[in-house]
Amino acid sequence: FRETHKTGGVAIYVEETLKRSAFNVPIRQYRQELVCEIALVKVMLDNTCIYIMGTYRSPSSNLDKSLDILSKTIEINKLENSNLLIMGDINVDILKPDRRSAKLQETLASHNIQRLELPPTRVTSNTISSIDWICTNLRSEELTVTVYNSGLSDHTAQVCTIKTEQVIENFTSTYRTFRQKTSLN
């Protein structure tokens, strides 16, 4: 949560059915308000662990400082070798490749993470941009991404569904055959 500014920030909401499987990862010491705001949860599904990170970076903040905070969070929590999904508002437009977007891509690549290409996520009367992001080290076949206009914000809503294998428990049945006794009398 924010300490200085009253509105905005990052929140991760967990569906009721996952409450016993999702755990907040304390990262308060790494994030910095308006520079790189982060929330992180660890979700345990059967034998799979997935980390979900929510992010916000102010458009006026120093990108290098934001990327340093992001990298430090990934490294200290050893997320490079874990299933990781990053979502949020990074305020770097993927539709207009430039030095900033190249720097962002390089930082992600150094952690074996890729930014998925999204259609425009913010449309105003003057601009069209894709400044929100979904990044991951999961295989693209494991993800389904949907972008839709929710009407709640000047940004679209991005929904990322992670396909997980459903564990089917082996059903073992045991039975015993009873034979009817016959008497020879």
pLDDT tens for each residue of 20-60: 899 999 887 777 777 889 999 999 987 889 999 999 999 99
pLDDT for residue 170 is more than 50? no
Q: Which CATH superfamily is domain 16-162 in?
A: Endonuclease/exonuclease/phosphatase (3.60.10.10)
Q: What is the pLDDT of residue 6?
A: 72
Report the amino acid identity of residue 23: F
Q: Where are the domains of the chain?
A: 16-162
Give the distance, in angstroms, between the CA of residue 168 and the centroid of all CA atoms in the same chain: 26
Torsion region of 91: left, alpha or beta (phi above 0 gives left; psi -120 to 50 gives alpha) = left
Q: What is the Cα–Cα distance from 176 to 11, expressed in whole angstroms? A: 56
**Contacts of 129 by beta carbon, 8 Å cutoff, 6+ apart:** 93, 95, 96, 120, 121, 122, 123
pLDDT for residue 76 is more than 50? yes
132/32: higher pLDDT:
132
Is the model's pTM score more than 0.75? yes
